[in-house]
Structure 1
Amino acid sequence: MKNMPLRRRTRWALPAALLVITAATLTACSDDAASSSAKPTAPASTASTASTASASGAAKLSAGPARRMIDNDGHRLAFHVTPGRLPAIVLDAGGGLDSSYWKDLVPRLAAATGSEIITYDRAGLGDSDEVPGPWDVKSAVDDLETGLRELGVTKDVILVSHSQAGEVATCFTRANPDTVSGAVLVDANLPEFFTDEEIARVVAATTPQVDAAKAGPSTKESRQLIATAESYVPVHRAYHQLSWPDGVPVTVIVSEQTPFAQSPEDAQRWRDAAAAFAKAGPGRTLVTADGSSHDVPVDRPDLVLHEIEKMAATRS
């Protein structure tokens, strides 16, 4: 899997919709901070500031990110760090994808902004240890908190979160509003999308995939899919009730095709959810990635880079 080209690996993962597009936060973060009968089809595959880095910083950049293995609660997590200044930009890939998803964007982003760039592998992905049992967003948030704390990054963080990582970003930001100074959510899972009707449609569309995973050999990927599916309904009902903190500015990039390119009704619901999210609070901007599939960072990297740069410039 790790040696597959990004396009091929993404297309392999995307049919497992619960992992990549609508993966559950199997223990929902708490909310103490603030119609067709047809089933949806499974989701389809899917002017910069100059760098002011010093010569030594440029040398570090050319050498590539440095890997740091960080221990948390009995497992190890891989964080990859490109040195730079604040704000620190943390890139978080969607379900079933590891930090290599951002490999082409990281050097461009570091050169354009001069910021510290951090990517990481959530538990069970990339070079990070697999953790048995259901995927728990509270644990995912704790992993990210621990990693950033160990790296000395405890303020002025910009989160860039794709797909499922939008759920991690929502819960992390709610728990750490003073740490996050801004976010760019890239075709991300948003609470507004997960109505009871939409949850039921997604479950119906993906049940054959989950059943096949249960019947087949046990692999890392099948275990993730099964664990994610187990508590999907109650967890996404809880996620639907959450809101983004008003004090943290956020840009929402929505793809033109959406994860549901073969289901016009669900695609429209995805776009409507992004629009509703953008209107629900101050400091929110909605951007459409024209011509893009759900893989906006791959299809429209210049757009993603531009929006991150804009957010970083306002926070500097």
Structure 2
Amino acid sequence: MAKLLSFLLFLLSIGLHTKGSAQDIDTLIDVGGYKLHFKVVEGRGTPILFESGAGNDGSVWKDLLKPLDDSLGAPLITYDREGFGKSGIDTAGLSVINEVKGLEAGLRKLGYGKGCFVVAHSLGGAYAMVFSSRNEDRVQGGVFIDNVSPCFMTAEKAHEVRMFFSDSLESIKRQSLGFYFIARNYEYTSRVMREAAPAWDAPLTVICSDDTPFEGADSIRWKRCMQEFARVRPNRKYIFAKGCSHYVFDDNPGLVIKAIVDQYRAVDHVL
């Protein structure tokens, strides 16, 4: 647990993943009381929507966009969740469900209110599962990278994580309102994720890291639960990213790009 806290605070303090790349659209969209920051590489076909993990904004995906654009030519949509990057925040109504509602509103305004393919990292997997539960006919496939799984993030574990952050909340709040609310709402977010998880029935590739965000027995359980999550349905594929940290796309971008391209093309007949 100490490993997880120190790493997330490190991310918040230095603003990891700031390298730039060309974008076709860079805009703030009013989604009702606050604005979400979207970047879109325009293309043809079903868009790929990226969900970042806790502590990150949409820039975490920058290095993947050009290779994916070159390979697929599909619209690529990244965004900053509430309180991260250039996005605003609704401190009174912030919850995982309201955040997903804001995302849905932003996508509609951008003209991407129909089908999509989802790529999610870490806690972003929870948001992706909630999004899928509300939009079952829209999500045609996806890739989850070291996602928080229902098997791992039980009610007991979510409580342990929230309590672990409790003494650091004021420090976190000064650095990032977005992460402050993630930590404060962690048990609720995890419960909603567990309830939403069964709704994901689209083809999915699940990538598990070797060096997980947890240590010891929790690291072993994280890996086991990732495997179990991949085995829930026959249309899920499991990839173990040997030698990679939680940020698999930094350590082995080629593996992640190939997984996205292969899974996208595998469901291309329905996209």
Residue aligning to 1:14: 8
Matches of 1:97 and 1:246 in 2, distance apart?
A: 24
The count of corresponding residues between Structure 1 and Structure 2 is: 258
Residue aligning to 2:167: 211
SS at match of 1:77: strand
Q: Computing the radius of gyration over CA atoms, which structure comes out larger, 1 or 2?
A: 1
Structure with bigger RCO (C-alpha 8 Å, 6+ apart): 1
Shift of residue 234, structure 1, vs aligned partner: 4.8
Unaligned runs of 5+ in 1: 1-9, 20-44, 46-61
1:199 aligns with 2:190: no
Q: Structure 2 counterpart of 1:302, which letter?
A: G
Deviations 1:273-310 (A, max 9, x none): 11111111231111111110001111111111001101
Deviations 1:207-262 (A, max 9, x none): 4xx32332x495251x33443333433553453344333531111111011111xx
1:249 aligns with 2:203: yes
Matches of 1:187 and 1:99 in 2, distance apart?
A: 17
Matches of 1:65 and 1:151 in 2, distance apart?
A: 13
1:304 aligns with 2:260: no
Unaligned runs of 5+ in 2: none
Matches of 1:235 and 1:118 in 2, distance apart?
A: 23
Residue aligning to 1:140: 99
Task: Please point out which of 246, 250, 258 is paired with 1:294.
Answer: 246
- Computed over aligned residues only, the root mean square deviation of the Cα atoms, in angstroms, reads 2.6
1:258 aligns with 2:212: yes
Change (3 A) 1:212 1:277: closer
Structure 1 residue ranges (4+ consecutive) displaced by more than 6 angstroms after TM superposition: none
1:76 aligns with 2:35: yes
Matches of 2:29 and 2:246 in 1, distance apart?
A: 31
Q: Structure 2 counterpart of 1:98, which letter?
A: D
Residue aligning to 1:94: 53
Q: TM-score, normalised by structure 1?
A: 0.74
Change (3 A) 1:267 1:77: same
Residue identity (%): 34
Matches of 1:213 and 1:305 in 2, distance apart?
A: 35
Which has the larger helix fraction?
2
Change (3 A) 1:120 1:280: same
Residue aligning to 1:124: 83
Task: Please point out which of 226, 233, 257 is paired with 1:274.
Answer: 226
Q: TM-score, normalised by structure 2?
A: 0.85
Residue aligning to 1:37: none
Residue aligning to 2:135: 176
